[in-house]
């Protein structure tokens, strides 16, 4: 007869502790990813992030070696969320309309107002060049992913021309969103987005 032995209690406790630590780590990164888009890198402090995550300031270094390490993970999370959402929108669109759907969503009123859950490049672009290398590297990787995503929606995907057009389109989308958020005239804000969509022959929202 084979006797099934249960795992030692200390292993179960260790695994539960590790699981809780991972969940806490994820919660901190999630809060930080929203915070950097809402308040900027300079306006995002460790104490504020830990408080918003429901944790004490003292527990920060159990999860991160430095503030820059957290910012890099937050930038990575924010970029991945933005690219992932855009990919989902493109995938759900009817055949031949993926690029239009992606651009309409990016330049929508919802995205315009949803800074802390939106594109981190539009929210943080002017600050990125002053960040630590690991933060810039995370941002750069997701910018490349967004360019590739747009290029894949073009009929000549795989050609240098498609990649070049995708770079221009992504740059235009980001620039338009930055300007639309910068002005205090709602009608001008909307007109900027509509002008960009019209330029790229995307039907109205």
Helix, strand, coil shares of the chain as percentages rounded to 5? 75, 0, 25
CA distance 26 to 148: 27
Q: Which of 171, 139, 186, 180 is nearest to 37 (CA)?
A: 139
Confidence of residue 19 (pLDDT cuts 50, 70, 90): confident
192 has a pLDDT exceeding 50: yes
Q: How confident is the model at residue 11 (pLDDT cuts 50, 70, 90)?
A: very low
- What pLDDT was estimated at residue 161? 96
> Which residue in 120, 103, 111, 119 sits closest to 194, CA to CA?
103
- Higher-scoring residue by pLDDT: 1, 119: 119
Phi, then psi, of 88 in degrees rounded to 5? -65, -40
Q: Is 158 left (phi over 0), alpha (psi -120 to 50) or beta?
A: left
Residue 185: pLDDT over 60: yes
Tens digit of each residue's pLDDT (9 = 90 or more) over 131-165:
999 999 999 999 999 999 999 999 999 999 999 99
Give 31-76 pLDDT, tens digit per residue: 999 999 999 999 999 999 999 999 988 889 999 999 999 999 999 9
For residue range 72-122, list pLDDT tens digits in order: 999 999 999 999 999 999 999 999 999 999 999 999 999 999 999 999 999
What is the rounded average pLDDT of the residues 165-177? Answer: 97
Looking at residue 58, what is its pLDDT?
85
Alpha-carbon distance of 194 to 154, in angstroms, equals 21
Q: State how far Cα 8 lies from the chain centre.
A: 41
Structure tokens at 84: 């992932």
Distance CA 93, CA 5 (A): 52
């Amino acid at each position: 007869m084979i006797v099934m032995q249960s795992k030692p209690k200390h292993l179960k406790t260790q695994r539960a502790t590790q699981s809780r630590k991972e969940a806490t780590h994820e919660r901190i990164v999630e809060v930080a990813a929203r915070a950097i888009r809402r308040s900027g890198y300079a306006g995002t402090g460790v104490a504020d992030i830990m408080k918003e995550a429901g944790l004490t300031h003292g527990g920060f270094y159990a999860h991160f070696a430095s503030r820059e390490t957290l910012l890099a993970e937050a930038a990575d999370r924010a970029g991945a969320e933005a690219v992932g959402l855009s990919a989902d929108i493109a995938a759900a669109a009817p055949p031949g309309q993926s690029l239009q759907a992606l651009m309409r969503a990016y330049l929508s009123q919802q995205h315009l107002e949803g800074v802390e859950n939106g594109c981190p490049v539009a929210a943080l672009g002017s600050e990125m060049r002053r960040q630590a290398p690991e933060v810039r590297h995370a941002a750069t990787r997701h910018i490349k992913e967004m360019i590739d995503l747009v290029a894949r929606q073009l009929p000549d995907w795989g050609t240098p021309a498609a990649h070049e057009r995708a770079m221009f389109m992504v740059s235009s989308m980001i620039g338009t969103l930055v300007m639309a958020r910068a002005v205090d005239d709602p009608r001008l804000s909307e007109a900027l987005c509509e002008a960009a969509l019209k330029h790229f022959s995307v039907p109205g929202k």
